[in-house]
Structure 1
Amino acid sequence: MKFIEKTRDEIPRLVIQDEKTNKFIYSNNVIYDESLNPGILDYLGFAFDGNSVKLREKSLFKYYCRAYKKVRLSNWKSEKSGRKKHRKSLYINYTHLGIRRKGHGNFLNYALRAQQIFDDSPSTINLMESQVKNHWRKINKRLKK
């Protein structure tokens, strides 16, 4: 804590927000909070429990909320026109079909790249790929046939 306070004091305009700051103890591949209960470290979109790394639940929630919103729009447009031609942008932006888009990918591409980067470290179990593997089934289940 002394090091953090000293660093904060040495850097002008550096603000450390107390509500976004937590103290953890890392011991024997387990993270504990200040009251010595098992905890989870949330940092830069990932959640780490001392043994495994996952995408933050909030990130997955936002991905699926946006995908389902696009599904509803696609269903509405398909009903209105009588054709299923309004699914291309849904598939490109929210499924594995858009992973290799020119210039950039989609959230699934991000998850797979994160999985590959974390796989370079054999000390953690990386669950990013397994968190998004059922995306196709979940999205197609909501699409009207």
Structure 2
Amino acid sequence: MLQLTSDRLLVATFEELDEMDKFIPKPGQIDFTHARWSPVINCAVKYRDKILLVERSPELNLYPGYWNGISGFLDDQRSLEEKVKDELQEEIRIGEEHIKSIHQGKIFDQEAPEYKKIWIVHPVLVEVDTDKITLN
């Protein structure tokens, strides 16, 4: 059984470690797992007068069970617009053809002491022409 013995030490068997999800960067992708500063996008998806919020899976390492916009790490060389399109396709199955506009807000830092991180948040408003989504 995984046990947290202090705020910095996790005790687990080798079998438990093998079963844990491991992040393996793809070619060209940056691993922010242990980085203090991590750039992310957070998309407010708007359809008419509605804004989409999704509940994060309880199995996720970061903010399990929290409500959020569509978010992801800026961990490769793609443009912000490309990353937004990819995240919407991956997370809610909204294709590029349904995106009416993408507007970037002012970048800000959000300290997260519980994760020993500072998020460099790139807020984005994405207007879409459909409310038909499929959660991933």
More helix by share: 1
Query: Which structure's CA Rg is the greater one?
Result: 1
Both structures adopt the same fold (TM-score exceeding 0.5): no
More strand by share: 2
Say which structure, 1 or 2, has more relative contact order (CA 8 Å, 6+ apart).
2
Taking structure 2 as the reference length, what is the TM-score of the superposition?
0.26
